Amino acid sequence: MTIEADLSAGSSTEDAHLKSSMRKVALTALAGTSIEWYDFFLYATAAALVFPAVFFPESTPAMALILSYGSFAFGFIARPVGGILFGHFGDRIGRKRTLVIALMLMGVASVLIGLLPGYATIGIAAPITLTLLRFAQGLAIGGQWGGAMLLVTESAPADKRGWYGAYAQAGAPVGVLLANLAFIAISVSVSDEFFMSWGWRIPFLASFVLIAISMYIQLHMEDTDAFKELEALKAKRLAETKSEHVPVKRSPVLEAVVRYPKRIALAAGAFLSIQVCFYILIAWILGYGSDPNGGGLTRDTMLAAVLLASALQIPTQFWASGYSDRHGRKGIFIIGAALSALWAFALFPLVDTGNFWLIVLGITGGLCFLGFQYGPQAAFFTELFSTEVRYSGASLGYQLGAIVGGAFAPMIATFLWAEYGIIWVSAYMALASVITILSVTMLTETYKTDLSDASI
């Protein structure tokens, strides 16, 4: 065999090993984020359909729904805190270990929600405890996204960063699918009375699976090459100084804020359209569609419509992510936001027809145009920041956008619908999309960025 043949065979073996390793990382990130988002979205579904009666029965139906959405929003208030806390440790001790802690926290909080007695049993302590557990969920999701996203994108080949990043992003629609499937399966299997008392708890109790996934990641996954390069550079600098300690730099979170304030703010703005539209499309729409003054449909009909639309969002995200690897992140992101703004005015007329397939069309259009943005987002946000503050910077941008956009979207939509009419909910979604377009326009294109920048 010639030397050239030996080299070719060695290269092929190395490529095959790299692809196999990346598949393992990508599928593990997909599994972890899917169950994590499943837990987070279970709360969104329950907040629309169950919690008003179980935890806020003393209020009028409208006020109970607003209070339920208020506890839902509390999780978003925690997300920037989680982003700061986990971002600090993710940049200091590694992506993998930080991700494991976030997954464990989510699993425990969700199981405890499933075990929590209602207002009829423990009174005011029930909604207070529910809100605290929602806060814990918010902390977990605030840390999970940065860890899972960086575990994939920092390990991926430069020309496949968007594609592999889409595996971490796919956890959101897969989580919606799993949450809605769980609620539909329980709902059709038991009576309404049992569903409202104990049936809704079963999907939350199933969250113990997340604890098993976190243990697998801890035992079988390695940290990213970019982070290991940074650690090696720190060790080299330590050896060169011949000192016991390298001078301690300020917190990675503060470092990110000082170095990249504009990028963090614009990243938050870029996320606004995704958050506002997403939580209206997968959570608020359930209450609107099943309300006699809205669509007047059954709970299971609306759940099924969201389920089908979420399934179609997944391939759309992968397509958009692959496109961004070849043509850039900004263009497809802006197209998605523009289409989201326009589609917002078609959404509710389609739901109001009462026709199941037109409702599916309305929600699918919204989620797919959102997928044009959400798919490439992992790679886009990864490439905006340098390695030593990447977890912190990306998480801050993401979670600030989440609290401004997603936290209050259901409550704002409820208020606009009740006071001014449904057309103003569409205008609200369109405004968020316009802000996203402006924010992305002001960011630089990143898809050719080299992540091997482990400067300290």
- Put simply, whether the predicted model's pTM sits higher than 0.85 gets the answer no
- In sequence order, the 6+-apart residues with CB closer than 8 A to the CB of 256 are 87, 264, 385, 389, 392, 393, 396
> Higher-confidence residue: 140 or 362?
362
Cβ(401)–Cβ(267) under 8 Å? Answer: yes
Residue 363 token pair: 């929600």
Q: What is the per-residue pLDDT across 392-435, written as a single tens digit (0 to 9) for each?
A: 888 888 888 888 887 788 889 988 998 899 999 999 999 999 99
Instruction: Report the alpha-carbon distance of residue 216 to residue 225 in Å, rounded.
Output: 19
Reply yes or no on domain 22-216+248-442 having CATH 1.20.1250.20: yes
Greater pLDDT, 253 or 130 = 130
Reported residue count of the chain is: 456
Q: What pLDDT score was predicted for residue 217?
A: 67
Q: Tell me which of 22-31, 113-122, 247-256, 321-330 is least confident.
A: 247-256
Between 319 and 289, residue with greater pLDDT:
319
Q: Report how far apart the first and last C-alpha atoms of the chain are (Å, whole number).
A: 46
Closest C-alpha to 402, from 266, 257, 310, 274: 274
User: CB under 8 Å to 344, separation ≥6 — which residues?
Assistant: 277, 366, 425, 426, 427, 429, 430, 433
Count of other CB atoms within 10 angstroms of residue 125: 12
Buried b (16+ CB within 10 A) or exposed e, 143-169: bbbbbbbbbbbbbbeeebbbbbbbbbb
- pLDDT tens, residue by residue, 34-50: 877 787 778 877 887 78
d(CA 186, CA 182): 6
H helix and E strand count, the chain: 22, 0
Confidence band for 274, pLDDT divided at 50, 70 and 90: very high
Q: For the chain, give the percent of residues with pLDDT over 90.
A: 28
Comparing C-alpha atoms, which of 383, 288, 406 is closest to residue 330?
A: 383
pLDDT at 18: 56
Scanning the structure block, which residue is given the tokens 């316009």?
A: 434
How far CA 135 is from CA of 44, 71, 282, 407, in Å, comes to 13, 9, 20, 12
